[in-house]
Structure 1
């Protein structure tokens, strides 16, 4: 059966990565650290939606991303157009343009944390699989008309390092956003978030946020991976996930991938 009707090939590693709830949550847990440091984070504060409801904002972003990954070409392109229109609307209200590098940063984060999260929870990716992840999200960027995108994975890796060095700073927005994370997650889940970020974040992010890995958290991840294999991970998820979002999180798991 042909897969040409889908934005992402049915056998793509991207579908496998984005078809598991815990991997998706790890992607956004890692990205939430870098989001807080980005020099353009004030754009997310402009609407007030991010600090008011960081979890709601997370699921809104996840829904758009997954609509693109798992939809047919036409539906995916409509989702991309809708994302672009939302950003243009914010730009019009503020009377300014979101910098092109900020758009690239977000796209680069999706590539990087997809790789890091899958490798932490599953297995090492091949060079071909990494290149496939790059191609999928590069196609999203092209659909959004983001300028200055890299031509291939190798070029992306160089640009990614440059962006990490040039576009991150610990600001008042950073401090406030972490206060909101803690407020909305509660102390226990906030500690888990910080540990996941410490495991996933690039060195530059760890340094700016002073993220330190706990000696016991890597073994906990190993136990969790074992629980996944014997289908006991659901019990752990029930214990640690926010009650208001359990239904949405369960819906992130796609069977048969």
Structure 2
């Protein structure tokens, strides 16, 4: 069977585990709140009104692209493009190319950071493979000016971080929505994980700080995976109503 992402690709290893995927979107949640194009989220109002459900919807699309056959993966990418085009038509303006690249770069960066935090360091060729998969996704969506290789991506990523982030009233409101839907304790855990996950410029702008030894807690969590208690911890971190969504993410862990 022909796949959009090769069955032996490192991208599958990164995106098949529930905890890695949740970390990817924990980091993206922090950075997206700072992005200068965050006003596009507020045009439809869907993400601010229920950010956790929208997160799982995004995960579903991503995993379809990564794990399903090529025809279904391309259909999922085209559906994402169609949704964005519909928003652009409704608003009467185009989402800027740099904003599309920002989101693509977030997925690349936090895929690397999350996997390395929980598993091991990635080799350069694995990072190149990860970049190439998301470049093909971006090209299918019509995103322009994508980097030629990983080293070029690192430079462009840093430039995007410097140019495209600011803390505004949309940032504050979106963070309030995260807290509202997660609850105080879970939001606190989210902030601690973001502190050790996001680039320095992101946590400086968000004033993220850690008030307990999160790296030690992370080591305990890794140990819990060995003895099979990680499912209990994940159930504690996310509200019960998202249990089914968590199970859907974990379906690919068996591949």
Length-normalised TM-score, structure 2: 0.97
Is 1:6 aligned to 2:3, yes or no?
yes
5 Å matches for 1:33-112?
A: 33-112=30-109
5 Å matches for 1:10-29?
A: 10-29=7-26
**188, 196, 200: which one aligns with 1:199:** 196
**Which residue of structure 1 aligns with residue 170 of structure 2?**
173
Computed over aligned residues only, the root mean square deviation of the Cα atoms, in angstroms, reads 1.0
**Inter-partner Cα distance in structure 1 for 2:133 and 2:61:** 14
**Which residue of structure 1 aligns with residue 216 of structure 2?**
219
CA deviation map 1:10-55 (0-9, x unaligned): 1111111110111100000000000000000000110010110001
**Inter-partner Cα distance in structure 1 for 2:83 and 2:226:** 40
Q: Match of 2:66, SS?
A: helix
CA deviation map 1:75-105 (0-9, x unaligned): 1111111100100000000000000000000
CA deviation map 1:123-169 (0-9, x unaligned): 11111111111011111001101011111111111000000000000
Is 1:243 aligned to 2:240, yes or no?
yes
**Inter-partner Cα distance in structure 1 for 2:60 and 2:235:** 21
The gaps in structure 2 that reach 5 residues or longer are: none
Q: Match of 1:102, SS?
A: helix
The answer to which structure has the higher helix fraction is 2
Q: Match of 1:220, SS?
A: helix
**Inter-partner Cα distance in structure 1 for 2:211 and 2:218:** 12
Q: Which range moves more in the overlay, 71-80 or 159-168? A: 71-80
**Which residue of structure 2 aligns with residue 129 of structure 1?**
126
**Inter-partner Cα distance in structure 2 for 1:247 and 1:134:** 30
Length-normalised TM-score, structure 1: 0.97
The gaps in structure 1 that reach 5 residues or longer are: none
**Which residue of structure 2 aligns with residue 138 of structure 1?**
135
